[in-house]
Amino acid sequence: MCASPPDDDAYYTEAMEALAVRGLRRGMRAIDSPAGLRVRVGGREVLCLCSNNYLDLANDPRIVRAVQDAVEAWGWGSGASRLVCGTMTPHQRLERRLAAFKGAEAALVFGSGYQANLAAIHAAAGEGDVVLLDKLDHASLIDAARSSGAAVRAFPHRDTERLRRILDRCGRYRRRLIVTDTVFSMDGDLADLPALVELKRRYDAALCIDEAHATGVLGPRGRGVAELAGVEADVDITIGTLSKALGGVGGFVCGSQAYVDYLVNTARPFIYTTAPPAAACAAAEAALDIVEAEPQRRVRLLELAATLRRSWRERGYDIGESESQIVPLRVGEAERAVRLANALLERGFLVPAIRPPTVPRGTARLRVSLSSACGPSDVESLVAAVDACFAAT
Ligand SMILES: *Cc1c(COP(=O)(O)O)cnc(C)c1O
């Protein structure tokens, strides 16, 4: 038996009804096909403009093949936590590869980006320290900071002047850790890394960046916004995920050898969980091969995104400060965003309505994330469909 007590069920039901009234109730939509630009939903093929599969690698035949080979060689499960007996040579190979890719001394792989973020921040900040967060940092970073034991200060989104004033009053803390997304996941805008580097120097702080949406996409070699901004050597800790542009699953942390050794010995999201399958590591390595060999994927993706942003800005639509493959179209109220998303689905475009609490109240939006599998005609037809839906909704 696993039913909850009836009173609890009444509580859950009531809470869900309250969400529904405000247009905030969410459900999951099942896809009947592999991740890709065209997916089947409810028996229909639609254009999927909401995944993080930016380079169309989630179902790439070379990666699928690498996974099949790895499963043949290593089996599926890893058997234990990394420290017990779960580390296999593919884990270590991937870590050397990731460290080289990010230009860091060392790297450590985790089962997910969420776990990597918890581990990275808990190691770098605790009691007596302070974590400085951008207000729009990813939920995993906020959870990590809040549960770290450190004091937490949030600064207004990308407001480095306010951050400076907060840092002015943080001298009493033992360590100061500035934490930022590099591409913000709901807005597609970029952190001002050069300004953050300057502040970290001036205030003797450490800088931790989450390149989840940038890894494989931005920078001349796809290494991320730190590469794009030319500040890789000034970043203390880099977090990334294997599950977005790299098309697989898992997360990683890059930093100094001393820091990574410390993580191995202290990070609970590393120690108290089973190692990811060796095949997941093989998939990530195959994805890195493709990122390095096929820069045209990210070039095409960013060109298409620039075209979409230009079209929407010309129409006066509110897309904020997006500078990446993530392009939000702010419409205000949650109900309107949901109506527009439904109307777009009717026309064959899977574009999600993003509502509070994921984004601040009154800034509900349609959030488009493009993939390198899109062509110019896909972007044109999306722009036309959104125009039609705006006129009708
Ligand atoms: C998606 C995301 C994560 C979590 O990565 P997973 O591998 O999906 O757990 C962490 N940080 C940011 C900014 C993200 O967008």
Report yes or no: 74 and 279 within 8 Å, Cβ to Cβ: yes
Q: Which SS3 state, helix, strand or coil, does residue 222 take?
A: coil
CB 178 within 8 A of CB 194: no
Contacts of 41 by beta carbon, 8 Å cutoff, 6+ apart: 29, 30, 31, 32, 345, 350
Ligand 1 centroid – CA 139 distance (Å): 9
Report residue 356 as tokens: 């509070």
Pocket test for ligand 1, best of 157, 244, 273, 367 (most atoms within 8 A of CB): 244
3-state SS, residue 359: coil
**Residue 1: per-residue pLDDT:** 54
DSSP E strands in 212-320: the ranges are 237-241, 251-255
Which positions of the chain have pLDDT values less than 70? Answer: 1-4
Q: How far is the CA of 111 from the centre of ligand 1 (A)?
A: 11
pLDDT at 42: 87
For tokens 């064959």, the residue is: 348
Nearest CA to ligand 1 atom 6: 113
The amino acid at 152:
V
Q: Say how far apart CA 112 and CA 140 lie, in whole Å.
A: 11
The predicted-structure confidence for 310-368, as pLDDT tens digits, reads as follows 999 999 999 999 999 999 999 999 999 999 999 999 999 999 999 998 898 999 999 99
Q: What is the rounded end-to-end Cα distance, in angstroms, of the chain? A: 46
Pocket of ligand 1 (CB under 6 A): 112-114, 117, 138, 140, 181, 185, 210, 212-213, 241, 243, 251
> Ligand 1 centre and the CA of 9: distance in Å?
31
Helix axis angle, 89-102 to 278-293, nearest 10°: 30
> pLDDT of 28-39, one tens digit each?
889 999 999 999
Q: Is the dihedral of CA 373, 377, 380, 382 positive or negative?
A: negative
pLDDT at residue 2, rounded to an integer = 65
Q: How far apart are CA 175 and CA 314, in angstroms?
A: 46
Considering only CA atoms, which residue is closest to atom 4 of ligand 1?
Answer: 113
Q: How far is the CA of 112 from the centre of ligand 1 (A)?
A: 8
Q: And the tokens for 323?
A: 């500078």
Report which residue type is found at 52: N
* Residues with catalytic roles: 185, 213, 244
The pLDDT of residue 388: 96
